[in-house]
Amino acid sequence: MILTYRIRDIVPYINWIYFFHAWGFQPRFAGIANIHGCDSCRAMWLASFPESERSKAAEAMQLHKEACRMLERFDEEGYTARSLFRLCRANSDGDNIIIEDILFPLLRQQTPHADGSPYLCLSDFIRPLSSGIADTIGLFASTTGQDAETHFSQDPYQHLLAQTLADRLAEAATEKMHEYVRKYAWGYAPDESLSMDELLAEKFQGIRPAVGYPSLPDQSVCFLLDKLLQMEQIGITLTENGAMHPHASVCGLMLSHPEACYFSVGTIDQEQLADYAQRRGIPINEMRKYLSTRHL
């Protein structure tokens, strides 16, 4: 299913912490996004910082003001964000998920935990094939499109601002789409009633690991998702290395298990790399280029 969102409809779903992080600001400065726009409220927010941090807070305030102006312009010019999702039957088989008869290999943690907790793999949160009962998994992709991403190409500052906002809008569209999936399309959480702060803090049931997340670090997974989703339907294409174009795009999995949680695969050894490459059907040397050096 494809969902198309106007910019004004997804702005409330923007996680400003990540926007400000991209500009080198610590999370506390993202609080400006929650402040009423009047001069009095902005002055009180600025005064809440130690004197040594007020110039930085003033920079954050101005950046947010310019970002909001650009978002309004995006909306006026009719830019949109699009999300594509599909709910599929699935079962786990060891460290693999079988999605609609397509093998989807995954990686499992190998680094011991201080508390002795188990080594996790995303397949742990899908009903095993041996149960004889099919489970469900969600697949998704979202993009802001190339127009917003290439806006103001002649002005380096405005261009960078447009790019970072396009990234946040793709994530915001995904957030709104996932809310719809949980409550209606999949319907496993029909009574969910979260504030925007709770939603952005991921207080909902289930997880939504995207490609590149610590639990899903293999960039080549994009090819598997594209095979199942046909992401060109919303204008996403893949490079030979599995990178998405437009850049302001994201794709991944949606899991509903109540105990599903985010984790980092961490470093894997050569034996697991060889096993994973074999399951993926990719030569080991080629497999290396899809994994960050922090995992090898």
Tens digits of per-residue pLDDT, 196-221?
999 999 999 999 999 999 999 999 99
Tens digits of per-residue pLDDT, 148-195?
767 777 888 999 999 999 999 999 999 999 999 999 999 999 999 999
- Asked whether residue 224 is assigned to any structural domain, the reply reads yes
Residue 160 structural domain: 82-86+121-295
pLDDT at 38 over 90: no
- Asked whether residue 29 is assigned to any structural domain, the reply reads no
The set of residues, in sequence order, having a beta carbon less than 8 Å from that of 144 and lying 6+ positions away, is: 79, 81, 166, 167, 169, 170, 173, 246, 248, 249
Q: Check: CB of residue 88 under 8 Å from CB of residue 137.
A: yes
- Asked whether residue 45 is assigned to any structural domain, the reply reads no
Q: What is the pLDDT of residue 196?
A: 92
Tell me the C-alpha distance between 66 and 28, whole Å: 19
pLDDT band at 25 (very low <50, low <70, confident <90, very high): very high
- The CATH number for 220's domain is 3.10.196.10
Helix (H) or strand (E) holding 62: helix 54-76
Domain count, the chain: 1
- Asked whether residue 38 is assigned to any structural domain, the reply reads no
pLDDT band at 114 (very low <50, low <70, confident <90, very high): confident
Q: What is the pLDDT of residue 296?
A: 63
The set of residues, in sequence order, having a beta carbon less than 8 Å from that of 177 and lying 6+ positions away, is: 3, 83, 85, 140, 142
Record the pTM.
0.93
- Asked whether residue 116 is assigned to any structural domain, the reply reads no
